[in-house]
Structure 1
Amino acid sequence: MESLSDLEILNIITDDKDSHKLADIKQAQRIAEKRGLDIYLYINDRDTYFRIAKKEKAIDNRASIRLRLINFIVDFFSFVVLISLIHSILSNFGSDSIKYNWSNYQRIIGSVILFLYYFIQEFFWNKTLGKIVTGTIVVSEKDQKPSITELIMRTACRFIPLEAFSFAFMKDGFHDIFSKTKVIENKK
């Protein structure tokens, strides 16, 4: 039932309630409350309800899949350059242990660098290099600067296998959903 649109949920509660079980109606009411749907306004003044809903939808300025893909590509190549520089520095100036056992250290160093790459940029500037290129920023669900906890969760979720492609199949990627953040276009 979570996948139903707002209109379908409202119809279950109001117009179609005679054709649904009581448990379904109660579940639809919980979903409507969770989504902040104004049932009273929907019942009494549908024109106003739809006018408000249309305005709220227009305000949703989430970044498109195309922009998200560009963000990913730019950040991926930036990370590769960064890790290559670090490898070069460690190979030239690091201990012999690091030089000869790079493959053993690569995963650990790469994971730490990846975490820091995203966390530091999003903490200080709400954006990474990819987001600078596309003019997007990271915000909380309430359109405010994300908290440290939200950013830690967001960054940690990037280590979920194939997570980078999750935004291609849904409105928000796993790292957006679990951290309660979103990427929006920043036209400033």
Structure 2
Amino acid sequence: MKNNARIVDRHQAEKLLRFINFLIDYVFAYLVIVFLFSAIIIVYSFLTGQDYAEKAQAFGEVNPFVDRIITAFFYALLMYLTEYLTKGRSLGKFITGTLVVNENGNLPNSNDFLKRNFSRIVPFDALSFLGSRGWHDSWSDTKVVKRKSYLEAVERENSIEDIGKIAL
């Protein structure tokens, strides 16, 4: 695969875009997780004949630490599936026009996406962007680029190389 590391570095998304991605993805994931667990409680209540309100209340009274671990796991799983199935994009990335690539500019593989999204479980990962690069990017060797300008630059680079090949 071609190494487009220079192009990746020139077209990285700014911190503001990354923050907007985070907010959109966080709200989206929160809504999906609430819907998912509500659906589970409804189905469980229906199958067992138990009262939905009682089960929902019991579910809400779970240990806060356990709740955070379970929620973080489902958040990481949802983000992994979203980015993997959409080839490096999440809802936030679709809206802001950004894309996840590996450091060479290629589509990350499933293992890269897995590392990227499950490292989000680490406490304070969101604050790691106060530095130069977020932990979930550096640990998975990925970067977020502005999709349109990045793809145009890659196309220009490939066109220039094609001209050189034709001349030979």
Q: TM-score when scaled to structure 1?
A: 0.62
SS in 1 for 2:12: coil
Q: Does 1:111 align with 2:111?
A: no
Q: Does 1:165 align with 2:127?
A: yes
Match of 2:43 among 85, 88, 93: 93
Kindly indicate whether the alpha-carbon contact (under 8 Å) linking 2:8 and 2:103 is maintained by their aligned counterparts in 1: no
Q: CA RMSD in A?
A: 2.3
Change (3 A) 1:57 1:155: closer
* Alpha-carbon distance in structure 2 between the residues aligned to 1:129 and 1:58: 21
User: Deviation at 1:98?
Assistant: 5.8
Runs (5+) with no aligned partner, structure 2 = 1-5, 152-168
* Alpha-carbon distance in structure 2 between the residues aligned to 1:152 and 1:136: 19
What residue number does 2:93 align with?
Answer: 131
The one-letter code matched in structure 2 to 1:123 is Y
User: Deviation at 1:169?
Assistant: 2.2
What residue number does 2:21 align with?
Answer: 71
* Alpha-carbon distance in structure 2 between the residues aligned to 1:58 and 1:82: 31
Larger RCO, structure (CA 8 Å, separation 6 or more):
2
Q: Deviations over 1:93-149 (max 9, x none)?
A: 225596424525744542332122111111122111111110001000000000112
Q: Does 1:183 align with 2:144?
A: yes
The one-letter code matched in structure 1 to 2:76 is F
Kindly indicate whether the alpha-carbon contact (under 8 Å) linking 2:73 and 2:118 is maintained by their aligned counterparts in 1: no
Match of 1:140 among 94, 97, 102: 102
* Alpha-carbon distance in structure 1 between the residues aligned to 2:25 and 2:85: 16
Change (3 A) 1:62 1:77: same
Kindly indicate whether the alpha-carbon contact (under 8 Å) linking 1:90 and 1:98 is maintained by their aligned counterparts in 2: no
Kindly indicate whether the alpha-carbon contact (under 8 Å) linking 2:7 and 2:105 is maintained by their aligned counterparts in 1: no
* Alpha-carbon distance in structure 2 between the residues aligned to 1:138 and 1:77: 19
What residue number does 1:155 align with?
Answer: 117
SS in 1 for 2:139: helix
Percent identical pairs in the alignment equals: 30
Q: TM-score when scaled to structure 2?
A: 0.69
User: Radius of gyration: which is bigger?
Assistant: 1
Runs (5+) with no aligned partner, structure 1 = 1-55
Match of 2:12 among 39, 56, 62: 62
* Alpha-carbon distance in structure 2 between the residues aligned to 1:160 and 1:83: 19
Change (3 A) 1:58 1:140: closer
